[in-house]
Amino acid sequence: MFCDDGLSQHFQIQGGDFSRAGRVSTTIKEILQEVGIDPAIIRRAAIASYEAEMNVVMYAQKADLTLKLTPEEITIRIEDQGPGIKNIDQAMQEGFSTATDQMREMGFGAGMGLPNINRNADVFWIGSIRGKGTVLIITFLLKKGGKA
């Protein structure tokens, strides 16, 4: 089904690259606008993909992001190569952060990223292997049942 009426696009995110950080989520937003997704859903998707993108930039080496779009749903999958998350439950808590002082100076590190993704997504899955990396799957439903 997916191949017939879907779109799939790949992006790469470079860890540590603060100057280009946020580009991928801007592109995702533009694609969603072009196909005419409801602005409220676009905004949620923009916030979630930005937080995920920033976590790669801050904590991982690099990541592949895949945007899949069908008339039913938007799925954003981010698979990074990095340290992984020791304790996911803890990381998901508002306010938990291991950001460095330098990151905090740049305005990050409130520990709100993952909770924000969770709040904005319709379905959110996160898995991590220590020393290898983290995978996030963020889904937004376009038909009934979504948060919009």
Partner 1 sequence: MSPYLHFLKIEPDKCDGRMKCMRVCPTEAIRVRNGKAQIIEEKCVDCGECITACPHGAIVALTDPFGELTRFRHTVALPSPGLHAQFGKEILPQKIVAGLKHLGFDDAFDLSLTCGEVSFAIQEYLRDYNGPKPVISNACPTVVRLIQVKYPSLIDQILPIDTPRELAARELKAKKAKRLGLKEKEIGTFYLTPCPAKMISIRQPAEKGRSSLDGAISISNIYGPLLSALEGVEKDSYEKDLKNICILGMGWAMSGGICRTLRIKNSLAVSGIHEIIKVFDDIEKGKLRDIEFIEAYSCHQGCVGGSLTVENRYLSFNKVLKLIETLEYEKIKACPDIREVRKKYEEGYYFMKGKLEPRPLKPLSEDLSEAIRKRREKGEIYEKLPKIDCGACGSPTCMAFAEDVIMRDSVITDCIFNLPQKFEKLSEEFSSMLEKSISMSGVQSPKKKNKDKKGKP
Ligand X SMILES: Nc1ncnc2c1ncn2[C@@H]1O[C@H](COP(=O)(O)OP(=O)(O)OP(=O)(O)O)[C@@H](O)[C@H]1O
Interface ranges with partner 1 (CB under 8 A)? 5-7, 9, 22, 25-26, 29, 31, 33-36, 39-40, 42-43, 46-47, 50-51, 69-71, 107, 116, 142
SS (H, E, C) the chain: CHHHHCEEEEEEEECCCCCCCCHHHHHHHHHHHHHCCCHHHHHHHHHHHHHHHHHHHHHCCEEEEEEEECCCEEEEEEEEECCCCCCHHHHCCCCCCCCCHHHHHCCCCCCCHHHHHHHHCCEEEEEEECCCEEEEEEEEECCCCCCC
Give which of Mg ion, partner 1, ligand X, none residue 42 binds (C-beta under 5 to 8 Å, depending on kind). partner 1
CB of 46 to partner 1, least distance (A): 5
Return the residues of window 118-147 that contact ligand X according to CB under 6 A: 134
- Contact residues for ligand X (CB under 6 A)? 51, 55-56, 58-60, 80, 82-83, 85, 91, 96-99, 108-115, 134
